Structure 1
Amino acid sequence: MNWFKTAAAAAALTTLVAAPALAGENLDQIKSAGVIKIGTEGTYAPFTFHDKSGKLVGFDVEIGEAVAAKLGVKAEFIEGKWDGLIAGLDANRYDTVINQVGITEARKQKYDFSEPYIASKAVLIVKEGNEDIKSFDDLKGKTSAQSLSSNFGKIAEAAGAELVGTDGFDQSIQLVLTGRADATINDSLSFLDFKKQQPQAPVKVVAEKPDADYSGIIVRKGDADLVAAINKALAEIKADGTYKTISDKYFGQDVSK
């Protein structure tokens, strides 16, 4: 047997030996450490943002804390920009991402998701007085402020818009307000929260996608035990009223459907 065949055989053997050891490994490590590390933006109100005191708060933050409590551990949040957030899972920077991550077929090929925990719709937002954009089709040839790798960015790109990269919802809205972008496609729940906080802001929704998008808690592929534990925790916080309390606090209604 030559060197190349020997090396290949050794690599294959290593893979076979290593694979079973991965089962439940992450969940065991999380429980042993007493901490689940959660990747999040911190710039995406009302899901994950900093309040006036600088504290990280938001719907996703409280969901993460509630899930962690059901797992018997504490939540440790690690912030990062959206465009590199999911990739942080690959680099083992954290155990999961809780940041309105849409469940898509493309992502499911590389990562695992919990059951959906929130539903929202994509809306098209423009500045008051803009009469050129009234539908998603009107984005062709216009600029749209987006997190480049987000579902919303892909919708804008598919409509023919030129994307202006941003770090999240707040920056996207500011670019629309200042005229540096014609529009942004973003989350309906984020827009409702923004208008609640700043009712005089001269921006409006001109179109809405009919179908809801569902977000889940995303983990590395093959982490079935961790996914099962997270799903159990989500079911428990819905059953005991914790989810409703958090949902009512931020949206005034159940946003799981």
Structure 2
Amino acid sequence: MKWLNTIVAAAALTQLVSAGIAHAGANLDEIKSAGVLKIGTEGTYAPFTFHDTSGALVGFDVEIGRAVAAKLGVTAEFLEGKWDGLIAGLDAKRYDVVINQVGITEERQKKYDFSEPYIASKAVLIVKADNNDIKSFADLNGKTAAQSLSSNFGKLAQQSGAELVGTDGFDQSIQLVLTGRADATINDSLSFLDFKKHKPEAPVKIAAEQADADHSGIILRKGETELQAAINKALSDIKADGTYDAISQKYFGADVSK
């Protein structure tokens, strides 16, 4: 009886392991069978995901999503939702992945998996083009910085010795620098690139940038290892064949992957 019990238990364990392996690849198989990669996104977050004047969904992340889906041999289908519930939509299986400049954090990695990073953003110190006094974050000491007061950028400016001039966000901050009402602003490198893409003649420049970058990735449910691997390969392929660079240059005028 002991031998029989052992054999039965071993057989049951083998079945569980096999089921687990099958489940790990099930979603990728279903996606390929359906011919559609369902992507959660906001649709209100320019330049990553937004609607143009014709009402079409466009943006950096939208084009990345379409390019990744094409490499998987399927079509991208975008499902829009508010940020507050966007990632939770993965749990409800409304979509397969979320592509919406989602930052890769330790807290999120406890519950979800990510692709390899495909966006890198850094804190940059922005000043007027003719400002030669501020060349580093340390040079902010005794100067004024236009910042959202509760933001991490505002805290960094304060730690650097700047006097803060409160603003509602990037657009207002950059205007205060342009009009000379603030000496500088610390902000996101992607926001600056987007601004310069639309207003290349604006007399502002990056005086310094932090060495460490924050990274974003495509987020998906835990345990879907085959889908994760396929997405990573797709990202690698679109970087190798120039697709990624073309999209990046279109929206930012620079390579934002590093």
Displacement of 1:51 in angstroms is: 1.4
The residue that corresponds to 1:23 in the other structure is 24
Once the two structures are TM-superposed, the CA of residue 85 in structure 1 deviates from its matched residue by 1.3
- Measure the CA separation in 2 of the matches of 1:186 and 1:101: 18
Aligned length: 219
1:254 alignment counterpart: 255
8 Å CA contact retained: 2:193, 2:253: no
Question: Given the superposition, is the C-alpha separation of residues 187 and 74 from structure 1 closer, same or farther in structure 2, using an over 3 Å criterion?
Answer: farther
Larger radius of gyration: 2
Distance in 2 (alpha carbons) for counterparts of 1:231 and 1:58: 20
Residue 197 of structure 1: how far off its partner (Å): 2.9
Percent pairwise identity: 72
Unaligned runs of 5+ in 2: 1-12, 127-136, 142-146, 159-167, 176-184
Please state how far the C-alpha of 1:159 moved relative to its aligned partner. Answer: 9.7
2:103 and 2:119 mapped to 1: Cα distance? 10
Q: Does 1:74 align with 2:78?
A: no
In 1, are the aligned partners of 2:24 and 2:224 still within 8 Å (CA)? Answer: yes
1:12-40: per-residue Cα shift (whole Å, max 9, x none)?
Answer: x9x94895242211111111111101111
Matching residue of 1:164:
none
Is this contact kept in 1: 2:153–2:187, CA < 8 A? no
Aligned-residue offset at 1:231: 0.7
Q: Say whether the 8 Å CA contact 1:35–1:74 is kept in structure 2.
A: yes
The code of the aligned residue for 2:104 comes to I
Identify the residue that residue 90 of structure 1 maps to in structure 2: 91
Q: Deviations 1:126-158 (Å, cap 9, x if unpaired)?
A: xxxxxxxxx8x99xxxxx869x9xxxx677799
Identify unmatched segments of 5+ residues in structure 1: 1-12, 126-134, 139-143, 161-170, 179-183
Q: Give the counterpart letter for 1:121 in structure 2.
A: K
Work out whether residues 45 and 193 of structure 1, in 8 Å CA contact, stay in contact via their aligned partners in 2: no
For residues 226 and 18 of structure 2, the distance between their equivalents in structure 1, rounded to whole angstroms, comes to: 17
Deviations 1:49-91, CA, capped at 9 Å, x for gaps = 1112111111111110000000010001111122221111111
- Give 1:158-237 correspondences, 5 Å limit: 172-173=169-170, 187-197=188-198, 209-237=210-238
TM score, norm. by length of structure 2: 0.67
Change (3 A) 1:186 1:159: closer
Q: Does 1:48 align with 2:49?
A: yes
Alpha-carbon distance, 1:232 to partner: 0.9
Tell whether the 8 Å contact from 2:197 to 2:252 is kept in structure 1 after alignment.
no
SS of equivalent to 1:23: helix
